[in-house]
Amino acid sequence: MNHQRWEHFPHEADMGIRGIGNTRDQAFEQAALAMTAVITDPVQVAAAEMVEITRAAPDDELLLVDWLNALVYEMATRKLLFSRFEVHVKDHVLNAHAFGEPMNPAKHHMAVEVKGATYTALRVAQESNGEWIAQCVVDV
């Protein structure tokens, strides 16, 4: 069964993002997609350019925050939006490829800027039904 999806959840001033997948890797990919969806409709972003990201952290939760903040950094410095992700996590080391294209306000209709991922509502876990959840609140 395919549990791969993302969703948002409410938070007072910011936005909760949640990635859900059959694997931890898919949950991380879907969390990144949920973060993109805070900014713009990911369907409108072409996967034309690739950025490689590697991160390491002492646990899955900190790795999720580091992964999302690396994407925020890449978006800010390269002026890119991402729409597709390939994530591989092993022993709390993340190797990923993010695919996207340069920001184009006329095309992407950006709603808000994500300033960073936070530790609020931070959770990476495998549920009793087998699906993985990767979530946190992003500062907007």
- Spell out the domains of the chain, with CATH numbers in brackets: 15-139 (3.55.10.10)
32-82, pLDDT tens digit by residue? Answer: 999 999 999 999 999 999 999 999 999 999 999 999 999 999 999 999 999
Please answer whether residues 108 and 40 qualify as being in contact, where contact means their C-beta atoms are separated by less than 8 angstroms. yes
Q: What is the pLDDT of residue 3?
A: 72
79-93, pLDDT tens digit by residue? Answer: 999 999 999 999 999
Closest by Cα among 121, 16, 115 to 72: 115
User: What is the reported pTM?
Assistant: 0.95
- For strands 80-90 and 93-102, give the pairing: antiparallel
